[in-house]
Structure 1
Amino acid sequence: MGNPVTTRQLRAVSTRLVLDHVWDVDEVTGSALIDATGLSRATVHDVCDELIDQGWVVELESLRTGSDRSKGRPARRYAFDARAGVVVGVDAGQHRVSAVAADLRGATLARTELPVGPDDATPERRLALVEQAALVALDGAGTSPRQVLAVSVGVPAPVDREGRTSFQDNPFWALMNPDLATRLHDRHRWATLVDNDANLAAVAEQWRGHGRDVRSHVTLLAGERFGAGVVDDGRLLRGAHGGVGEMRYLDFVEGVGSATGVAALVRDDARAQLRRLDGRAGSSLQDVDPARLDAEQVFAAAAAADPLAVSVVEHAAALLARVVATFASIYDPQRVIVAGAVAASCEPLLELVRQELDRYVDPPGIEVLASALGGDVVTVGAVKRALDHVREHALDIAPATLRRQPEVPDWIPPGV
């Protein structure tokens, strides 16, 4: 026989049942909780009292009016306290660091964005920017750092299950993730999760985007470099070292040749073609300062039938179709979602990709869609990852106790 179930274990199961139900509804009566969980009335109310003491739940005022007092004891009403704590989602990109503070149902409380400059290319400055972005977002939300229940950070590097980048042959990856999880935890005692930015984009699409109604999809971050988050049968794939979705293999794909992303490809190709015009009329893009030219302007010009822009977009579409075809061969997704800042303007490109794609895939019919989550897709996924962590470990967290802890002393990061 196995070990007998202890009273403590039974209590934990009861607490989880009640907390999960309260978390997902606006408010609930004790009677409704009894029906939903199958627990006794005494157990339900005892558990709710414990959750109130811990800071997870609040008891609402009775709806009973003065004229109803003859009808017996009023029903006790409970609600999950979505402001019992906060989570922070960070997109620690190569050129910007953005952070969102959110409540425990994922509603955004405040957002901030910091540029990454040439002087920020050190591990110390990288950590300082991530910390600063998180603290500014918390300040904007009117929230103390003590109320943070989890922080999730997305980085443009492969990340293993412990939040570390194990690959040793890429200095850029090492810079993007200088063991952020350990350093933020040591500094603030925050539960810190670090993940690949494309993985978090896939989490965001599965939560609030085009991945909600399919079991298998690939989310492709397509800015300066390609990176992919892969969801198969509802589960995010990682690999032994977090390398699933890394795109270095594109160096060996005929007609592609590198992991350079759509935004960079379109911008750089347009600039090159404009230089070849050498002042001769031929494109509306000649009116744009080459230093400020970006993919969005090229897509807009292509939609207006500018011949140079159309040529650039056709070339990028042929390349992207081959990239998507490799996903079809390796992962067999139902849907590929192009995400990141480029998604808002890339529909002219994707229309050509859809026309081209069936040449390469069998069976045909993979959907290729632009994300509707915009440039915030990674922070949305980071918030979701942090929320999932808090919910999984809720029985080990007492928000009311955290709020009574002393603040971490002020710290001035190097170079700030």
Structure 2
Amino acid sequence: MADVSTGLGTGRASVGAVLDFAWAAGEFTATEVMAGTSLTRSTAIDAIDTLLDAGILRELPNARAVGAYRSGRPARRFTLSADLGVVVGIDAGATHLAVSVADPLDRVLVHHRVEVDPLQPAEVRRATIIAQLETTLAEAEVPRDRVLALCAGVAAPVDRNGISPPHPDGFWERTNPGLAEALRDWAHIVEVKNDAQLAAIAEGATGAAVGCRDYVALLASERFGGGVVVDGHVLHGAHGGVGEGVVFDHITGVETAVGLPYSLQDQAREAVAAGEIAPDGPVGLLVAEDRIDPRLVLTLAASGDGDALRVAERVGAVVARIVGVLGSMYDPARVIVCGAVAESIEPVLAAARRILPAEMHLPAPQILASTLGAEVVSAGAIATARRAARERAVPLLAERRLSMRA
């Protein structure tokens, strides 16, 4: 239930119940609130009136006024106010930066994604994020004081205060350059979270894990990282490190935490070097390039090219080993491979599914490709910001508005 402060008076529990109901209801009547919350009619109407006074709800024209009611007294109808504010989601990846501005319910108003230098110093990265945030809000024509909640996802473990631990090479400090402090005054509620955990939140909200209580979102872009959900709860850890990919540096048959695009390149080159693939074939010619586009290899595999399928099989063995480790540690029902590469990864996953049962004693989880694409972290950041707006920012906004009227 929304955490409605004591500033809303003795009826704060009923006001919170009505506010919770309103988020999912769209248009509603007091009778529908009673049925959905078990409040009495007088209590429901008092709570609705309180939220109307605060400008959190607005009353709609009655059914007779819009020609939809013929006789009797039409019921009053309500909905959430359209001008509560916005939420912001930031995906601060190793090589990209995406900023989204959305309404608190279901629409993304503006979304911008740009490439960034992974070796940017922390102070430059911080300034880049702030500049992109300013630009995106300006395009959405939203003043800064209307941001209800903001969530930023970073490619680093993050503790509950939004702070990342030190990394031996400074990577975590660069990807999370003090964002909790830098963004503190940009919204009523500011959260900084690990990107794989946000991918897991996105998959549970609108992706391949809807209705599933035990799953891992395996973010497989620049590096592997897992967002782990057990019994319906996202696991975190003391420093936000649950699912951190460095463990794969130490797993035989994996030996690295670098993501699937690099694994496809490496396995293609190794197959050519081992004589498994002819250097003058389609895949062999790709290997001659400085950097292999993994989508081309996967497209060839999907079309039935034997050499590309051989590469997909080798990468599938790596994925099976990774999923086997995650499956043995967390016992998920599903492992969902996320990121831009997921759009074309099916040949690799088909191989992984064949290999996986031999990697585990427990029943093997389903291995699925995410349908949320490259913006899965942005989707998780928006979902997290919306939840913060619903549970914390909007009740605080109601309290402030009523205090000003008192």
What stretches of structure 1 of length at least 5 have no aligned partner? 1-5, 405-416
SS at match of 1:358: helix
- Whole-angstrom CA distance in 2 between matches of 1:305 and 1:63: 60
Distance 1:250 1:131, change over 3 A: same
Identity rate, percent: 38
The AA in structure 2 aligned to 1:328 is G
Distance 1:286 1:60, change over 3 A: same
Pair 1:200 & 2:198 matched: yes
Identify the residue that residue 11 of structure 2 maps to in structure 1.
11
With the length of structure 1 as denominator, give the TM-score of the two structures: 0.87
The AA in structure 1 aligned to 2:16 is R
Kept after mapping to 1: 8 A contact 2:23/2:390: no
SS at match of 2:183: helix
The AA in structure 2 aligned to 1:290 is E
Tell me how far 1:11 sits from its aligned partner: 1.3
Pair 1:95 & 2:95 matched: yes
Distance 1:326 1:153, change over 3 A: same
What CA deviation, in whole Å up to 9, does each residue of 1:211-270 have, x standing for no partner? Answer: 112210001011121000000010000111111000212222111111121111102433
Moved more, 303-312 or 13-22: 303-312
Identify the residue that residue 129 of structure 2 maps to in structure 1.
130
Distance 1:280 1:179, change over 3 A: closer
Q: 1:214 aligns with which of 212, 215, 218?
A: 212
Tell me how far 1:292 sits from its aligned partner: 5.4
Moved more, 133-142 or 291-300: 133-142
What CA deviation, in whole Å up to 9, does each residue of 1:148-196 have, x standing for no partner? Answer: 101101100001111110245341011111120111114x355211000
What stretches of structure 2 of length at least 5 have no aligned partner? 1-5
Kept after mapping to 2: 8 A contact 1:114/1:129: no
The AA in structure 2 aligned to 1:293 is I
Identify the residue that residue 247 of structure 2 maps to in structure 1.
249
Identify the residue that residue 108 of structure 2 maps to in structure 1.
108
- Whole-angstrom CA distance in 1 between matches of 2:278 and 2:352: 31
Matches within 5 A, 1:13-412: 13-65=13-65, 74-117=74-117, 121-186=120-185, 188-271=186-269, 280-284=279-283, 286=285, 290-291=289-290, 293-393=292-392, 394-398=394-398
- Whole-angstrom CA distance in 2 between matches of 1:291 and 1:103: 43
What CA deviation, in whole Å up to 9, does each residue of 1:336-364 have, x standing for no partner? Answer: 00000110000000000000001011233
- Whole-angstrom CA distance in 2 between matches of 1:83 and 1:177: 32
Tell me how far 1:39 sits from its aligned partner: 3.3
Kept after mapping to 1: 8 A contact 2:99/2:132: yes
Moved more, 219-228 or 137-146: 137-146
- Whole-angstrom CA distance in 2 between matches of 1:69 and 1:283: 68
With the length of structure 2 as denominator, give the TM-score of the two structures: 0.89
Kept after mapping to 1: 8 A contact 2:99/2:113: yes
- Whole-angstrom CA distance in 2 between matches of 1:102 and 1:334: 32
SS at match of 1:229: strand
Distance 1:357 1:287, change over 3 A: closer
Identify the residue that residue 413 of structure 1 maps to in structure 2.
none
The AA in structure 2 aligned to 1:200 is L
Aligned length: 396
Tell me how far 1:46 sits from its aligned partner: 3.2
Tell me how far 1:8 sits from its aligned partner: 6.0
Moved more, 201-210 or 73-82: 73-82
The AA in structure 2 aligned to 1:46 is D
SS at match of 2:358: coil
SS at match of 2:150: strand
Kept after mapping to 1: 8 A contact 2:199/2:227: yes
Distance 1:284 1:171, change over 3 A: closer
Kept after mapping to 1: 8 A contact 2:316/2:351: yes
